[in-house]
Each structure stands twice: as C-alpha cells, then as structure tokens.
Amino acid sequence: MNKTVFNEYCASLPATSHVVQWGGVTVWKVGGKMFACFSMGPKADPQEKISFKCSDIAFEVLCEQEAFIPAPYLARGKWVQCNANGGVDDDTLKNYISDAHAIIAAKLSKKAQKELGLLNL
C-alpha cells in the first residue's frame, strides 16, 4: 500500500484527522487518538512502514506472522508494524486499519463518540 492509498483510505473513515509529527510520520487519529501511522524505517531499514493498533488477540496472531513485527515504541499498546510495499495486500491492510479505527473509537467517551457522529456506526 503506498502512502497515497493509505491516506485516502484513512481519510474515508469517520471522524478522522491527519497530522505529520515526529519528523515526518503521517499519523491518523480519531477523536484525537492515534489509530494508524505511515513512516520511513530507520537508516538500517529505510523502507516505508505502516503501523496500526490491534486487539490483544490480533496482536499475538499477527506478531507470529512473518510480515508483521511489534511496532517500535508502540508495541506495549498492542500496535504492529509491516512494510508498506510487500507481504500484505492492500485489502487486508484496509481491514486492519478499519479495525484499528473501530478499536480506538470505541475507547472514546460516549459523549465524544456522539459529538463525532460515531455512535450507531
């Protein structure tokens, strides 16, 4: 999944916002909380990377697959990371990103969910 497709898909999800932080990382949020990121890997592995929040069970399962690793700095929060251009097809990544959005949206207060139009989705 390239950065344009990633950004277009994240923008299509309800009540999202986009920022660039941490020296060029594209961060997507719902209700001010991150659910997915697109970044360049470190100098030792300068590939484009996608990171996203997942459920406890999905975290365990995905980390056993070759295409995914626990996301650096975010793994304790059950985030995984994969190479953007290889190993995982776009439709699968879109499903995981949609799930990440739903997980984070569900953690928002009912008041925030209502204000963002997220209730009854």
Q: Where are the domains of the chain?
A: 3-115
Residue 62 pLDDT: 96
Query: pLDDT-derived band of residue 23, with 50, 70 and 90 as boundaries?
Result: confident
Burial class (CB in 10 A: 0-12, 13-18, 19+), 83: middle
- Whether 28 contacts 18, CB under 8 Å: yes
The mean pLDDT value for 62-66 works out to 95
| Separation of alpha carbons 93 and 97, rounded Å | 6
Considering Cα of 98, then 82, then 77, then 36, what sign does the dihedral take? Answer: negative
Helix then strand count (H, E) for the chain reads: 4, 6
Whether the pLDDT of residue 111 is over 70: the answer is: yes
Residue 120 pLDDT: 66
Q: Which backbone phi and psi does 42 adopt, to 5 degrees?
A: -70, 170
Whether the pLDDT of residue 7 is over 90: the answer is: yes
Query: pLDDT-derived band of residue 13, with 50, 70 and 90 as boundaries?
Result: very high
Whether the pLDDT of residue 8 is over 70: the answer is: yes
SS3 of 3, please? helix
Prediction pTM value:
0.92
Average pLDDT of every residue of the chain: 92
Residue 102 pLDDT: 96
CATH 3.90.1150.30 fits 3-115, yes or no: yes
- Whether 7 contacts 26, CB under 8 Å: yes
